[in-house]
Structure 1
Amino acid sequence: MQNKKMITILGPTASGKTPVAAALALRTGGEIISADSRQVYRRMDIGTGKDLADYVVEGQHIPYHLIDIAEPGTKYNLFQYQQDFHNAYDDICSRGKQPILCGGTGLYIEAVLGGYQLSPVPQNPTLRDALASKTLDELTAMLLELKRKNGSNMHNHTDVDTAQRAIRAIEIETYNLEHPTPERLLPPVDSLIIGIDIDRNLRREKITRRLKARLEEGMVDEIRSLVKEGINPDDLIYYGLEYKFVTEYAVGNMSYDEMFRQLEIAIHQFAKRQMTWFRGMERRGFHINWIDATLPMDAKVETIMRMAKL
Structure 2
Amino acid sequence: MSITKPPIIVIGGPTASGKTDCGKEIAQKYNGVVISADSRQVYRGLDIGTGKDATFHQEMIDIVSPGTPFTIADYVLRTNKVISAVYQARKIPVCVGGTGYYIDAVLHNASFPTAHNALYRQSLEHMPTMQLTKELHTVDPRSAIRVGHNRRRIIRALEIVYVTGKPVPVQCKKLRYDPLIIILDPGPDALRARIASRLDSRLQSGMIQEVEHLRTYVDNHWLRNLGLEYKYISDYLDGIYTYEQMQLVLYTAICAYARRQRTWFRRYPDAQWITSPDEAYPLVDNFIKRYTISI
Native 8 Å contact 2:5 2:178 kept in 1: no
Q: 2:137 aligns with which of 118, 126, 144?
A: 144
**For the residues of structure 1 that align with 2:190 and 2:142, how far apart are their CA atoms?**
39
**For the residues of structure 2 that align with 1:16 and 1:76, how far apart are their CA atoms?**
26
Native 8 Å contact 1:4 1:98 kept in 2: no
Q: How does 1:179-258 map to 2 (within 5 A)?
A: 188-228=176-216, 230-258=217-245
Instruction: Tell me the CA shift for residue 154 of structure 1.
Output: 4.2
Structure 1, unmatched stretches of 5+, are: 56-62
**For the residues of structure 2 that align with 1:257 and 1:176, how far apart are their CA atoms?**
45
**For the residues of structure 1 that align with 2:76 and 2:14, how far apart are their CA atoms?**
21
Instruction: Tell me the CA shift for residue 303 of structure 1.
Output: 3.2
In structure 2, relative to structure 1, the CA distance for the partners of 1:264 and 1:149 (3 Å cut) is closer
Equivalent residue of 1:143, what SS?
helix
**Match of 1:171?**
159
Equivalent residue of 2:33, what SS?
strand
Output one character per residue of 1:5-26: Cα deviation in whole Å (capped at 9) or x when no partner: 1111100001111111111111
Structure 2, unmatched stretches of 5+, are: 291-295
Q: How does 1:3-22 map to 2 (within 5 A)?
A: 4-22=6-24
Q: How does 1:24-35 map to 2 (within 5 A)?
A: 24-35=26-37
**Match of 2:264?**
277
Structure-1-length-normalised TM-score: 0.83
Equivalent residue of 2:289, what SS?
coil
Letter matched to residue 29 of structure 2: R
**Match of 1:58?**
none
Residue 275 (structure 2) pairs with residue 292 (structure 1): yes
**For the residues of structure 1 that align with 2:48 and 2:222, how far apart are their CA atoms?**
17
Q: 1:120 aligns with which of 107, 111, 114?
A: 114
Equivalent residue of 1:262, what SS?
helix
Residue 65 (structure 2) pairs with residue 71 (structure 1): yes
Letter matched to residue 89 of structure 2: R
Output one character per residue of 1:15-69: Cα deviation in whole Å (capped at 9) or x when no partner: 111111111111111101110000001111000111333x3xxxxxxx3200000
Native 8 Å contact 1:18 1:103 kept in 2: yes
Letter matched to residue 155 of structure 1: V
Instruction: Tell me the CA shift for residue 134 of structure 1.
Output: 4.9
**For the residues of structure 2 that align with 1:182 and 1:287, how far apart are their CA atoms?**
22
Equivalent residue of 1:202, what SS?
helix
Letter matched to residue 209 of structure 2: D
Native 8 Å contact 2:161 2:167 kept in 1: no
In structure 2, relative to structure 1, the CA distance for the partners of 1:180 and 1:292 (3 Å cut) is closer
**Match of 1:267?**
254
Structure-2-length-normalised TM-score: 0.87
User: RMSD in angstroms over aligned alpha carbons?
Assistant: 2.7
Identity of aligned residues (%): 34
In structure 2, relative to structure 1, the CA distance for the partners of 1:257 and 1:170 (3 Å cut) is same
Letter matched to residue 247 of structure 2: F
In structure 2, relative to structure 1, the CA distance for the partners of 1:132 and 1:78 (3 Å cut) is closer
Equivalent residue of 2:272, what SS?
strand
